Amino acid sequence: MDANASMLRLERLVKRYPTGDLALKGVDLEVPRGQVMALIGPSGAGKSTLIRCVNRLVEPTSGRIYLGGEELTRLGMSGLRRARRRMGMIFQEYALVERLTVMENVLSGRLGYVGFWRSFLRKFPQSDIDEAFRLLERVGLDQMVDKRADALSGGQRQRVGICRALIQNPQLLLVDEPTASLDPKTSRQIMRLICELCAERDLAAVINIHDVMLAQMFAQRIVGLRLGEVVYDGPADGLTAEVLTDIYGEEDWSATIQKDEGAAAEEDAGEPAAAETLRPDERMAGLT
């Protein structure tokens, strides 16, 4: 597979839930290696369904999905498990195993590579543990290794989630609303971290995000989804009022678009510095 080939390709992807809801209506999409793509759209547009179809946490109804050259939609259970190792996933509510420690949560990213008994007895290979320490240091959590996940703040938890995804050594990141539960400052830090790490590792990423400004700020490419169909696919500065109306419906978009122009300069300004250390029970306060 050459370097310019697409990392992820969706062909006529359709998902119909048993209730009859048609969540995806034949989506075609291609993400090249190393590209950070933001998927925006209103609630119920099918963003979460789309990325869950890629690693088949949700089974697609029809259509094909290719990761690298491999067709994911044809894989059996063991083939799917091997393919899932190549896709890291980051979740909206962090989805850490709350009662396990930070280290155990990060190492759980290696479960696809380690046998049952080794993982059960927590006897992970030293190379995995080295990598876990390296990643935790990279995201600034090296002091938190033995803390339980439920003792961390929202931003810290999401960093652990990022480490768990990256220790899989993936080629693709699937990111589902990474900032929806975070305050504005932490949201930006997390998005910046994800984008930096993708650049460092030449990772492709599909990021579901409902914050249009954040998407414009960090993503190289934006795809707009409405009612299970792609209605926009282009660069961040192509998001005009007409395009946003197309994706979300009629609304006054002037503020969103204007703010984007000054966003790079004013980002991080104005938010309280203490936001990063918010306790878990307060973390909804910063909901954007």
Binding residues (CB under 8 A) for other proteins: these are 55, 57, 81-85, 87, 89, 91, 93, 95-100, 104, 108-113, 116, 119-120, 161, 164, 168, 174
Please name which of 277, 34, 22 lies closest in space to residue 151, comparing C-alpha atoms. 277
194 — phi, psi (to 5°)?
-60, -45
- The Cα–Cα gap between 157 and 193 comes to 13
Which lies closer to other proteins via its Cβ, residue 93 or residue 229? Answer: 93
What tokens appear for 168 in the block?
């899989």
Q: Is 274 exposed, middle or buried (0-12, 13-18, 19+ CB in 10 A)?
A: exposed
Smallest gap from Cβ 101 to other proteins, in A, equals: 10
Smallest gap from Cβ 273 to other proteins, in A, equals: 30
Which lies closer to other proteins via its Cβ, residue 104 or residue 211? Answer: 104
Element (H, E) at 73: none
Smallest gap from Cβ 83 to other proteins, in A, equals: 8
Sorted by sequence, the CB contacts under 8 Å of residue 76 that are 6+ apart come out as none
Which lies closer to other proteins via its Cβ, residue 155 or residue 224? Answer: 155
Which lies closer to other proteins via its Cβ, residue 16 or residue 56? Answer: 56
Smallest gap from Cβ 159 to other proteins, in A, equals: 15
Smallest gap from Cβ 143 to other proteins, in A, equals: 23
Which lies closer to other proteins via its Cβ, residue 114 or residue 236? Answer: 114
- The Cα–Cα gap between 185 and 48 comes to 24
